[in-house]
Structure formats: C-alpha cells, structure tokens
Amino acid sequence: MTLTVIRALDESDAHLFDAHPDPLNARAAHQRTTHRPDWKRVALRDGTVVARGAWWGGPDDEQPVNLNWFDVAEGEVEAGAELLRSAPWQVELELNLPGDWREHPDLAAAAETRFAAARAAGYELLVERFLYRWTPERGLPERPGRLLFTPEPDDAVFFDALRRIHAATLDAHALKAIEEGGLDRAAREELEFFHWCPSPREWWQLAHTPEGELAGIHIPAHNPSGPTIGFIGVLPEHRGRGYAYDLLAECTHFLVAHGAEAVTGATDRGNFPMAANFTRAGFPVVRERINFHPAPGAVS
C-alpha cells in the first residue's frame, strides 16, 4: 500500500475536499454551514482522497470550535486516524448522520468506519444526540400558560440558575464540564457559549410560577446556522410538572415572533423526557449527531 499524504487545503485546492464520496449526505447537514478552506484537510493515496475533515468555528474565531465534517473511505481507517492525529486542532468531533442510519446496512457501515478512525486516533465517544427542526407546517406548539416569562439583564442570575439546573442534569456535555471543573465550570461554559452566539443577549428569559418562584430558564438563540432552541432548563425543585414543555413552547414562539422561518434543536438520546417534549412540540428528528472528544493525553 502506498503512503498516505495528509494535506491542508486553501482556496486554490479546496476542490479536493469535494472529490470524496458523500454516502452519509453530510453536505445536506451543512447547507447553512460555512467552512473555511484553510480549516479543511484531506488524506490522499495515489492522488485519491481517502479521508477528509472540515473544522468549523464562528466568523470571528481564531481557532476552530469543533470538527463537524469527517469522512473516511472503506478500508482507510488508519488514514482517517492519521488525518485526526496530525491536525493542529484537537477539538470535539461531531458526526452528523441521517436520522435512519441504523436501519440501513450501508449507512451503518459508513458510520462505523468513521467511528473506528476516531477511536484509533485516540477519541472517545461522549454522547449520541437527536437533531430536530421545526417548520411552520408543523404548527406552533400550544402555550400552556402556566409560567410567566421575563427578560433578565444580570448574568449572575442565569449563572446561579444554571448551577442549580446542572446539579441534577442528564446532559453529557454538562456532566463532562462538571467532572472537569465542577458546577461553576458547567455554568460558565453555557454562558460563554450564549454570549458567543450572534443573537441578542436581551432574548434570555426567566420563567416564574404565578407565586413568583423561579421555575426555569429558556434561551432563544441564533447560532451561525440560524435560529435554535439554545437552552431549556427547569430547576430541580420544580421538575415533574412538565415545565420543560412550557419552556420549549415559549422559546419556539419567541423565535418565530422574531422572524424565524425554521427552528432547530437538539437533545441527548438518553434524555428521554426532553426528547418526548420535542416530539410533543412538533419537532421531528431530522438527523443524529455522534460526539467524540479527544481522550486526555491520547491525541498528540
């Protein structure tokens, strides 16, 4: 077997990235994503692209936030692993897959090749997530009218609420942050992400019961790809009453009132209550996302 050549791309040879087959239809998942040519890399064998990766970040970011497009040809697991190992950015890997990929042997095999390359490069599975997309023909979800929603300019209020919410969370990313740096880190990472989003800070809202108790928060947002359900969180002492649906419905209405023609959302596969709320609110699963992260000390 001939040697693998790993190449970074630029505007002059960005076309090489498109020379690889797309069996998992990643291009459809990235219709609203802008990838910089110089954050793309390919693995070549005899001049043929056998693996490719596109790292992604916001328009003002100096370094990528994640790697969200990664393809590996059948039988080229090691080439895919070397593409990951040799990259200058060791960030989270997101594999965006068709929602029914498990039901089709060819799609499942293509996905497993990518999983194998990630593991060979020292990445570990973090979480599997459902990706949702609401569109107007689904109809706006009914507002139960049980909570009162108000903006809150003080980040400290949201920071305290996030700490309380994450004290009993099912979210894998929050659990990882808690393991690495405690509740303060998990809350801080959430705040940093929503300040990073291009949507207005004034959109963040608190939800109170009619008695004035803080029940939860919701954060309507725009990420660089469009309107999204940024965050839904119910304080532990108010769980068991279905308030997460109330927050989701309000967040959807808010985004539509501010011009959204479609709204995306996501939740971990293991978060069965939130997945049920998305279904009830008229959000169908459109894709699945498998998140890997570099294991500490495993990727050099």
Gap between the Cα atoms of 72 and 78, Å rounded: 9
| Stretch 254-273: mean pLDDT | 97
Q: How sure is the predictor about 296, in pLDDT bands with cuts at 50, 70 and 90?
A: confident
Q: How confident is the model at residue 163 (pLDDT cuts 50, 70, 90)?
A: very high
Q: What is the DSSP string of 131-180?
A: EEEE-GGG-PPPP---SEEEE---HHHHHHHHHHHHTT---HHHHHHHHH
Find out whether 248 and 231 touch, Cβ atoms under 8 Å: no
Average pLDDT over residues 254-280: 97
pLDDT tens column, 99-154: 999 999 999 999 999 999 999 999 999 999 999 999 999 999 999 999 999 999 99
H or E stretch covering 94: strand 92-98
Residues 6+ apart with CB under 8 A from 115: 95, 125, 290, 292
Looking at residue 300, its pLDDT comes to 46
Taking only the tens place, the pLDDT of each residue in 242-251 is: 999 999 999 9
Cβ-Cβ contacts under 8 Å for 75 (sequence gap 6 or more) = none
| Spatial contact of 263 and 255, defined as CB atoms under 8 Å apart | yes
Q: What is the mean pLDDT of the chain?
A: 95
- pLDDT 10s digits, 183-242: 999 999 999 999 999 999 999 999 999 999 999 999 999 988 899 999 999 999 999 999
Cβ atoms of 81 and 41 closer than 8 Å: no
Is residue 253 within 8 A of residue 229, CB to CB? The reply is no
> What would the two tokens of residue 225 be?
């790809």
